[in-house]
Structure 1
Amino acid sequence: MLQERDSRTLSVVMDALIRDFEPREAVPYMAAKLIFTDDQRDAILNMPRRRTRVLEFVRQYRRSASNLDALISFFEHYGQFHLATALSTTVVPEERSLLSEHNLHTCLLRESNVPGRLKNYVKREELIENLRFILRDLASTEQFWLVVHGMAGCGKSSLVAEALRSCPEILSRYYEHVIWIHDGRSSRDSLPSLYADFFVIVADSLVITGREPVTLIQAQVKNALLDKPNALIVLDDVMLEESVRWFDQLQCRILATSRNLEIFQASYGNVVPFRMTPSGFTISELTSFLAGAGFQNVDCDVIQRMHNLSSGLPAMANIIVHLARGSVERLGWLCYQLESASLGSLKCVTSYRYASMEEAIQTSFEMLALPQKEVFTSLVVFPVDEWLPVEVISLIAPVDVTDHEESIYATEEQLETLAKHSLLDERQAPQQCKSQFEYRIHPLVGAFLRRTLLKESPFVEELRSILKLRLRSFIEESTDERTRMRVVTFSEHFLRDNCLELQSEENVISMGAGDHQMAAIRLAQARSKLTTMSSAAASGSAQKKKKRRSRNSRHSHNDSTRAPVVMFSRVKGRPEMARLQLLLMNVDERQLKYKVKIKEGCTVTALPSGVGQLDAHASTRVMLIWRRPPDIDDWSKVKPAVLLLVGEYGDDDKPESKRRIIQRMNGYHHFKSAIF
């Protein structure tokens, strides 16, 4: 098999061979050199025209020869020195002439299957120039993966197509062929059809049944690629690791577009990542896009708002333009919808594969493993479009470690995976702390988290309260000054700007004995019900509590003038029932035993149990079910439920070490008013 370098030289000299070479004279010479077999000789000589004989000769020579020495020797022996010189000359791509516009158009559209330019297309000059430079730099490499990756809808495919279309030197000087095929397979069962489609394109053949083994198709593809030397294969929208492994066996030049960079770690070859940064239009590009769609004199505030809410993501901008139907007023209203409604409500058919960005991001989310899904979900409490230190995210990220330093590295590992799935932006941190990276949430990803994935969920408020509590605790206890200052900077901004989209009243009740905080109970009031559960919150703001010692110095009581009021929420379809969820947190270093006690006569049940124990810094949830007495038909006639939360530290074998805290709470139904 001819080496790639020599095969490229044959392609460069092809025009001269077609003009001056007669294979009938060279076939016996090559047979004597044991390069051609009898079958190959007959295949060449049976061609009726000289042009087809030249093409078949070159095809067979590529398969059988190991270098160009025999062909050069033939031309020197028969006096065709100009052909021998051409084959002996090292090809310098920059010295090759550019293809004509007609030939380039034919190469792109008729032979390469490159998609056409989209209407209202806006050229992204900087990204195109960067991609063109990398393609030119990699041209001398015989095998590589160039992976254009970014979040769904950022314009990866359009960028690659435009780079090939607007940079004629790529196909004129550096690559002889471009083979474009759309992948988009999300299930392994559909991959054989992809391989079969690729074989049909590469081999220019329809002789395939679709029932061939994958290994046979791969061998046929390798053979067919010999006729297309120096080819650039474009795999559009790669989603599966198995697809990467199959194409990697071809050992050729591949440009892939994908939202998931992680799957390309399966490649044996060189992988060069090209991140779509920025992922969306700039303000000027977005203005040009709107103007191209017929929106003239759009208010600058509307354009700025649209850019802030979507970061100029091309797919989202295209959906909004289609829904606006040429109306500037409707465009402004749609921007308001983008700020408050779910992404699924902005839905229409466009050139993009997905009808809404909700579907596109949901597809990315479903590709995650469970640990990444849990960490991704916890990001709902953070502001969007701002760089977040890992030290802060690790305070609430659900990773399976107890030490905070370990949790930073464990969290960073999960965040790195999310960034490779294009669900987060990643950059080097400006300061050298335990984590070297920072992460940013795209505005549309944040909208997906808040208004789709965790829509109407009370756990958002719970997470927010936990984050505030742990921020304060970390700032007080951290001994690493650099890390502490990063957390302080974020904490001040977080608490000052109140950047969360979900607003709720909250009450954190801290209970302690001596110098120890014994427990913290977070009672979060959900703005609306979940399908299976409602969560209630304390009414009113958090109050400072004074504590006093009882006659027993090991007991501590809340001495506020009135016990905190908690509100039970209604249960859909069950008017006789109300629910309240308690989040119990042990913020101490010691194990805590707890008990939720109900005053005798109250029809309240604790699920799964009102009794248990918490390890250091652990938390748990207790569901309280309040049933209305059967002889009362109105909640307004039901007396408040009196609840006692008892927490105890210490060893039963050492009475002097035991500490107990008691917190009383008055519970009301959602419909029942209470005087505060």
Structure 2
Amino acid sequence: MDAKSRNCLLQHKEALEKDIKTPYIMDHMVGDGVLTTLEEEEVRNEPTQQKRAALLIKMILKKDNYCYVSFYNALLLEGYKDLAAFLQDGIPVVSSSSDKDSVGGITTYVRTVLCEGGVPQRPVVFVTRKKLVNAIQQKLFKLNGEPGWVTIYGMAGCGKSVLAAEAVRDHSLLEGCFPSGVHWVSVGKQDKSGLLMKLQNLCARLDQDESFSQRLPLNIEEAKDRLRILMLRKYPRSLLILDDVWDPWVLKAFDNQCQILLTTRDKSVTDSVMGPKYVVPVESGLGKEKGLEILSLFVNVKKADLPEQAHSIIKECKVVECCHRGMLTDLLYKWNQS
């Protein structure tokens, strides 16, 4: 961790320990890959809230710049705007470079941009789907800096969110098309109050220095206007990613002449919005070979060494790329019962 970041964290350590509640903060950090589940469990085992916060900060101080950025973003996302402001001056600057990260060939520039934008990490069990990722990237290139919509649609569990995150995990795409960054919003099924909260949180993330307003928007229309101004003036060449959109009316709040990538089960959700629209359909199941690859990764056995039962398990469970741990555990249980 940079000395400036470390000093900033130490300077405000007491205030952070006093006020933060760690469970949701840690959820974000585990999702960003900067905190392990073992470390999370260690913090949870502390007897008081303040001791849990103290241990978490102690862990962060031993980690790198990405952990600092993840912690900062988690504070914003969980409503600790004042505490996040304490850490703003210590945010490390990582220059755009072609140097490769030691994991997966991802550049430090890509890793930082995605971490700051709240883009989820790859799942623990991950297999590539290059053809689909390339299709999404080609659609994003077609936007060519102009407002428009790229929609990834398919049935629940087909890997839409994983594909959206993987599509932006690309140095040339980010640097060439979205130099102002990417901003991930997990939308889900919302009522009006839930949507307003999502918009308020997004506006707070985009206006961390409060250059446009010191208060949150009070209603959806005001939030839409605030978002439009922020995207136009501060992030004119950025990508907004809306994950798991259910209802067309929700998109009206984001119909602000932005470049948007969204995932949904219903491709008609964009019927009423303005601008160019591109779609990428995702089939609900993977092929047999990809299913075997997922199973082999989960049980840590080479694909060629999987027993014959694995083929029937794959067929029965219709394995998909985004496999949740519960599904994989079920696979393993069926294997053991075979």
TM range (shorter): 0.5 to 0.7
1:293 aligned residue? 298
1:336-366 C-alpha deviation (Å, 9 max, x unpaired): xxxxxxxxxxxxxxxxxxxxxxxxxxxxxxx
Contact 1:122 1:289 in 2 (8 A): yes
Label 1:324 to 1:178 Cα distance change in 2 as closer, same or farther (>3 A): same
2:281 aligned residue? 275
Q: RMSD between aligned alpha carbons?
A: 2.5
Label 1:305 to 1:179 Cα distance change in 2 as closer, same or farther (>3 A): same
Gap regions ≥5 residues in structure 1: 1-96, 333-676
1:248-267 C-alpha deviation (Å, 9 max, x unpaired): 1x111000011111221111
Deviation for aligned residue 1:317: 6.9
How many positions carry a matched residue from both structures? 229
Label 1:181 to 1:288 Cα distance change in 2 as closer, same or farther (>3 A): same
- Whether 1:142 and 2:146 are equivalent positions in the alignment is yes
1:104 aligned residue? 110
Could you tell me how far apart the structure 2 residues matched to 1:313 and 1:102 are? 29
1:379-438 C-alpha deviation (Å, 9 max, x unpaired): xxxxxxxxxxxxxxxxxxxxxxxxxxxxxxxxxxxxxxxxxxxxxxxxxxxxxxxxxxxx
Deviation for aligned residue 1:209: 5.3
1:116 aligned residue? 121
Could you tell me how far apart the structure 1 residues matched to 2:239 and 2:171 are? 14
Could you tell me how far apart the structure 2 residues matched to 1:192 and 1:105 are? 29
The secondary structure found in structure 2 opposite 1:293 is helix
For residue 260 of structure 2, the aligned residue among 254, 257, 265 is 254
The structure, 1 or 2, with the larger RCO (C-alpha pairs under 8 Å, 6+ apart) is 2
1:442-466 C-alpha deviation (Å, 9 max, x unpaired): xxxxxxxxxxxxxxxxxxxxxxxxx
The secondary structure found in structure 2 opposite 1:160 is helix
Paired AA for residue 232 in structure 1:
L
1:329 aligned residue? 336
1:278-328 C-alpha deviation (Å, 9 max, x unpaired): 33222121111111111533334x333334334433356753322355773
1:125 aligned residue? 130
1:198 aligned residue? 202
1:284 aligned residue? 289
Label 1:304 to 1:284 Cα distance change in 2 as closer, same or farther (>3 A): same
Paired AA for residue 312 in structure 2:
R
The correspondence of residues 277-676 of structure 1 with structure 2, limited to 5 A, is 278-294=283-299, 296=301, 297-300=305-308, 302-315=309-322, 318-324=325-331, 328-330=335-337, 332=338
Could you tell me how far apart the structure 2 residues matched to 1:211 and 1:227 are? 18
Label 1:315 to 1:168 Cα distance change in 2 as closer, same or farther (>3 A): closer
Could you tell me how far apart the structure 2 residues matched to 1:162 and 1:233 are? 15
1:6-42 C-alpha deviation (Å, 9 max, x unpaired): xxxxxxxxxxxxxxxxxxxxxxxxxxxxxxxxxxxxx
1:173 aligned residue? 176
- Whether 1:185 and 2:192 are equivalent positions in the alignment is no
The secondary structure found in structure 2 opposite 1:251 is coil
Gap regions ≥5 residues in structure 2: 1-95, 100-106
- Whether 1:237 and 2:244 are equivalent positions in the alignment is yes
Question: Could you tell me the TM-score, scaled by structure 1's length?
Answer: 0.32
The secondary structure found in structure 2 opposite 1:237 is strand
Paired AA for residue 291 in structure 2:
L
The secondary structure found in structure 2 opposite 1:153 is coil
Deviation for aligned residue 1:143: 0.9
Question: Could you tell me the TM-score, scaled by structure 2's length?
Answer: 0.61
2:220 aligned residue? 214
Contact 1:175 1:232 in 2 (8 A): yes
Contact 2:145 2:177 in 1 (8 A): no
- Whether 1:154 and 2:163 are equivalent positions in the alignment is no
Which one has a larger percent strand, Structure 1 or Structure 2? 1
Larger radius of gyration: 1
Could you tell me how far apart the structure 2 residues matched to 1:163 and 1:102 are? 17
Contact 1:295 1:328 in 2 (8 A): no
Could you tell me how far apart the structure 2 residues matched to 1:260 and 1:200 are? 29
Paired AA for residue 305 in structure 1:
S
Could you tell me how far apart the structure 2 residues matched to 1:322 and 1:157 are? 21
Could you tell me how far apart the structure 2 residues matched to 1:168 and 1:179 are? 16
